[in-house]
Amino acid sequence: MSAYSHRLVRMFFCIGAIFCFASCSASGLVQSDRISPQHVVPRYVFYFIGDGMGFAQVKLAESLLESGDSLAMTSFPASGMAATHAENRYITGSAAAGTALATGYKTTIGTIGKNGSHTVTLKTMAEMSREKGMRVGIVSSASIDHATPASFYAHVDSRKLYAEIGAQMASSGFDYFGGGYALGDLDDGRPQGRLVRTMKDSGYTVIQGWEALGKAVAGRKCWAFGSYDGSGALGYAIDRAPDGLTLADFTRTGIRLLDNERGFFLMVEGGKIDWASHANDAATAAHEVLEFDEAIAEAVSFYRRHPDETLIVVTADHECGGLALGNTATAYAGDPALLRNQKLSFQAFADKVNGWVERKDVFFPMVLDSAKVYFGLGNSSLDASLELSSREKAAIRDAWKASRERKNTAFTYGSGDPLTATLIATLNEKAGIGWTSSAHTAGLVPVFAIGNGAHRFNGVYDNTDIAKKLIDLIGRFDTVR
């Protein structure tokens, strides 16, 4: 590293330290970072990863809260910034980033739990925790065999090797898996049951739904999942029924099942922040961050009961979408709160459009009514800026024509539907939201920490350093027991 680079890093570190000191002084959680002489390393470690969550996604979610409210994560006394590049690419992917966050080593795009040349298996902090006698849990709102969760228990040359990933999940010996189903066990959206049988043969109880979740027994290995979409993931938070299982529910259950005197390690991924950002759907992404933060709040509740023994670290694997809180069209007049008028995700609305196209019973005036109902567009009684101009109505008409002329599309990351994309883009523009990409970016991502050892996470550093700091604490676990 050049002398200039060293000076630049030191400058950013100082800025981060000043910011963190100010945050500590202003926060009622400041006392959380004290270190008890009896517990020089944490007994309970929480690791939250917001997939695709940059600083802008965090601030956007906060803008949708009621006045005076704040996110749990932004109230933490320690904060930092992390670089995310992969070994072989400036803009990373979830497999390489997940491996860096789980092991402390860079790797190549698509690789999970191995070095870039696939010649060395990299031990994860979750595996180290298990060796130390701690209970271990992995939770994700994406499928449980998706790149980020897999990076903590699997070692494969490619993230697409779902059969191998599932087999390693079953042989991991981890105590708890929760959240989504498994993409590798789905065929056209339907479960095949192969992984369920493998998990049961490996001693796991496999459960689904509220009642079963409540009956899960601490000390018994468990895989719990909720209702899932065609990718094995939990549905988007903005679409969820009031009685649907959330990321917070699976986090709370994980705490109950893992809690013991020997301690535990729990990784929780907010996996669909990334998916919504790929689709440039700001409202859906913000709701995913809010749900992710509710899961963090469950860990904070546990921390308050064990402040000297708990560490909570929150970060992201990368940013997605190049989200900007401001755009040329609205200049200084943007208002992210307008996103509250969006009532469903890009995926759910695109599914509606598919039905309209198939039935051929919806006409343009009805499309405009739906824009008003589901996005607030055209309803000036909500806000004058939601009124549609003749130019915007023409764009919506053209998009509706394009939707009618296309074939049915399976919706995952992006809606694939012109009308859906146009309505979301129109609301985003009015709210002052900008996007530079429908892919990942290389922007620095946030790091927030609270609890025993949180001070280590102040400053500016590489994503591998987050893992190294945690691994160091976990590695010293036995020295104080």
Q: In this predicted model, what pLDDT tens digit does every residue of 161-187 receive, in sequence order? A: 999 999 999 999 999 999 999 999 998
pLDDT in tens, 25-64: 334 444 444 444 445 789 999 999 999 999 999 999 999 9
**Is 362 found in the same domain as 230?**
no
- pLDDT at position 477 is 65
**Is 264 found in the same domain as 231?**
yes
Is 120 in a helix, a strand, or coil? coil
Residue 387 carries which DSSP code?
Answer: P
Per-residue pLDDT, averaged over 438-455, amounts to 97
**Is 263 found in the same domain as 183?**
yes
The string of DSSP letters for 207-248 reads EESHHHHHH--TTS-EEEE--B-TTSPBPPGGG--TTS--HH
Measuring CA to CA, how many Å separate 36 from each of 43, 176, 266?
12, 29, 22
Burial of 5 (0-12, 13-18, 19+ CB in 10 A): exposed
Alpha-carbon torsion angle 226, 230, 232, 234, nearest 10: -40
- pLDDT at position 67 is 85
**Is 374 found in the same domain as 298?**
no
**Is 249 found in the same domain as 344?**
no
- pLDDT at position 189 is 81
Is 29 in a helix, a strand, or coil? coil
Within a domain: 439 = no
* Cβ pair 250, 224 in contact under 8 A: yes
**Is 98 found in the same domain as 76?**
yes
**Is 329 found in the same domain as 295?**
no
Bridge-partner residues for 187, per DSSP?
Answer: 190
**Is 330 found in the same domain as 316?**
no
Look at the chain and report how many structural domains it folds into.
Answer: 2
Within a domain: 463 = yes
Q: How would you label 268-279 residue by residue, b for 16+ Cβ within 10 Å and e otherwise?
A: bbbbbbbbbbbb
* Cβ pair 290, 428 in contact under 8 A: no
Flag the least confident range among 106-110, 357-361, 442-446. 357-361
* Cβ pair 262, 135 in contact under 8 A: yes
Residue ranges making up the domain that contains 56: 3-320+444-480
**Is 393 found in the same domain as 453?**
no
Find the CATH number of the domain harbouring 22: 3.40.720.10
Q: Is the pLDDT of residue 5 over 80?
A: no
**Is 76 found in the same domain as 27?**
yes
**Is 394 found in the same domain as 312?**
no
Q: Is the pLDDT of residue 326 over 60?
A: yes
Q: What is the CA radius of gyration of the chain?
A: 22
Closest to 442 (Cα-Cα) out of 318, 275, 325: 318
Question: What is the distance between the alpha carbons of residues 467 and 125, in angstroms, rounded to a whole number?
Answer: 8
pLDDT in tens, 59-81: 999 999 988 899 999 999 999 99
pLDDT in tens, 210-223: 999 999 999 999 99
pTM for the full predicted model: 0.91
Measuring CA to CA, how many Å separate 274 from each of 70, 209, 439?
22, 25, 9
**Is 347 found in the same domain as 248?**
no
- Cβ within 8 Å of residue 45, ≥6 positions away: 129, 134, 263, 264, 265, 266, 310, 311, 313, 470, 473, 474
